[in-house]
A and B are shown apart, each in its own frame.
Chain A
Amino acid sequence: MLDRLEASLSFYKNALDIRDKRQGVLAANIANADTPNYKARDFDFRAELDRAIGASSSATGGGMPLATTAAGHMGPQAPGSVGAGTELAYRNASQPSLDGNTVDMDVERVEFMDNAVHYRANLQILGNQIKSLRSAMQPER
């Protein structure tokens, strides 16, 4: 029964993890706005979320664990992990600068704010879900 609880929360947990990761990438872009030759990075939120959901459903729904007999064998990815293998893309610069830096401060700040709002929305929904689960667990009165 507890894995059902986990499953009901794992979607928002994954989304929150990826929002968090994106927040870090955007913060690094803003921090490096004056670094020569720095190329602004970002990743596709949707693709990353699809990947995380796919990983968690194959790991939890797969049933049997993978047997490993040698140190070099790779196990399945941990459920719902936002792997270190996120593919970071480079942003297309609309106004390239002479020093090779492609950070456009307006774009980065808008994306940062947008991501922060989504993060908050995600937290709110997750919080509400926890609340409703909790009220369902209250004893009968």
Chain B
Amino acid sequence: MSITSLFNTASSALTAQSQRMNVAASNLANADSVAGPDGEPYRAKQVMFQVDAAPGANVGGVKVGDVVESDAPFREEYNPGHAMADDRGYVRMPNVNPTDEMINMISSSRSYQANIEVLNTGKELALRTLTLGE
């Protein structure tokens, strides 16, 4: 364990958090996408974080293990004039919950900031160590 492995840990967290933000952005952007490539409405996606420890190590960085789709029911909106409306006049809308996504976004950006701070501190300590004894 050394300062350079601290850089690896913090940068893995930056990558994972930015991926999480990307997924949240994609969910928000597609909050009204009634039809995807398969003809089904868009399903909200979520990243699953996992510890990314080297073999034999107790602690380590973080990685995105999987991106899972939410299986919450689709939102139904009454809009008889819509091209995708069924015979009752309802359109199936994506199961994206904008509140959840915004909270995900805020939480993610805070974690990102915390890791930036870790990187800055690590950098400063490493630079000071390099000038030891001068």
Summarize A's interface: helix, strand, loop or mixed: helix
List the count of A-B residue pairs having beta carbons below 8 Å apart.
Answer: 93
Chain A contributes a number of interface residues (CB within 8 A of B) equal to 32
Q: Is B79 an interface residue (CB 8 A)?
A: no
Q: Scan B1-27; emit 1 where CB is below 8 A from any A CB, else 0.
A: 111011001101100010010000000
* Cross-interface CB contact of A21 among B1, B17, B48, B60, cutoff 8 Å: B1
* Cross-interface CB contact of A41 among B58, B61, B115, cutoff 8 Å: B58
The answer on a CB contact under 8 Å between B2 and A24 is yes
- Interface range for B: 35 or more
CB-CB < 8 A to A31: which residues of B?
9-10, 12-13, 61-62, 115, 118
The answer on a CB contact under 8 Å between B114 and A38 is no
The answer on a CB contact under 8 Å between B17 and A131 is no
The answer on a CB contact under 8 Å between B117 and A109 is yes
A44 to B62, CA, bound (A): 24
